[in-house]
């Protein structure tokens, strides 16, 4: 009996994208509320957030473009949407709510992009795509939470905008591990490459060293 992977391989899915010429790091929704199992977190979200600290450090040392996202809804409910009906607790993620603030260990530095979004994708209804295009970005390293939600939506939209999405598996987390693993499998087959933190750091570092020769 064929495995799931065999079926996709037989149909010629899962071909590699590889890193392009100019890479950006996208950190999706690693905010206090998702780092808290009593709010929106749990599963492997905090572990993935911790793993991203080292990746962020490496990307800063390599002078890559870095973008962070936050979910921010209006205090008065004026921009509540369908997702907020489905998950009413999202209405608590307003501009000044502690749960909407990026975790301290991944705190943005001056010059890093901060995207305020109201829906799952970092690209939908924001200026992130034209910002990346202006910087001639062609590859986006996608990290954050949740793998089955905002990470997936952002990775698929990155592909739709013509960027190569590379999902960093151990820097993405979900409140349930089943959806995390299932979505990594599906993304790998149809939309993105999947790499680990150490793999992508090693490749980016090697490229920089080669360029300096």
For the chain, state the CA radius of gyration.
17
- Tally the residues of the chain: 213
With respect to residue 201, please indicate whether it lies within any of the assigned structural domains.
yes
Q: Return the residue matching tokens 């929704």.
A: 29
CA distances (Å), origin 47, targets 81, 144, 167, 198, 202: 30, 11, 16, 15, 21
Active site residues: 150
Cα-based distances in Å from 69 to 2, 33, 101, 188, 205 = 40, 13, 10, 23, 25
Would you say 173 and 43 are in contact if contact means Cβ atoms under 8 Å apart?
Answer: yes
In a domain, 2, yes or no: no
Structural domain boundaries, residue 111: 19-212
Q: Let me know if residue 31 belongs to a domain.
A: yes
Q: Is residue 3 a part of any domain in this protein?
A: no
* Residue-level pLDDT, tens digit, the chain, 213 residues: 578 899 999 999 999 999 999 999 999 999 999 999 999 999 999 999 999 999 999 999 999 999 999 999 999 999 999 999 999 999 999 999 999 999 999 999 999 999 999 999 999 999 999 999 999 999 999 999 999 999 999 999 999 999 999 999 999 999 999 999 999 999 999 999 999 999 999 999 999 888 887
Q: Say how many domains are in the chain.
A: 1
């Amino acid at each position: 009996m064929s495995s799931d992977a065999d079926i996709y391989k037989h149909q010629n899915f899962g071909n590699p994208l590889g890193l392009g010429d100019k890479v950006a790091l996208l950190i999706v929704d690693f905010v206090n509320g998702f780092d808290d199992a009593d709010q929106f977190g749990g599963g492997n979200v905090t572990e993935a957030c911790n793993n991203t600290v080292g990746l962020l450090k490496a990307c800063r040392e390599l002078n890559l473009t870095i973008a962070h996202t936050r979910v921010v809804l209006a205090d008065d409910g004026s921009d509540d949407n369908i997702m907020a009906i489905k998950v009413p607790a999202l209405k608590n993620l307003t501009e000044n709510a502690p749960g909407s603030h990026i975790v301290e260990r991944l705190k943005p530095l001056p010059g890093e992009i901060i995207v305020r979004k109201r829906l799952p994708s970092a690209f939908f209804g924001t200026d992130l795509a034209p910002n990346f295009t202006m910087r001639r970005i062609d590859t986006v390293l996608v990290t954050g939470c949740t793998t089955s939600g905002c990470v997936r939506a952002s990775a698929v939209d990155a592909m739709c905008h013509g960027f190569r999405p590379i999902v960093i598996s151990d820097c993405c987390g979900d409140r349930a591990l089943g959806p995390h693993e299932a979505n990594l499998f599906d993304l790998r087959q149809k939309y993105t490459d999947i790499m680990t933190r150490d793999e992508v750091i090693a490749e980016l570092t090697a490229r920089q060293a080669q360029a300096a020769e």
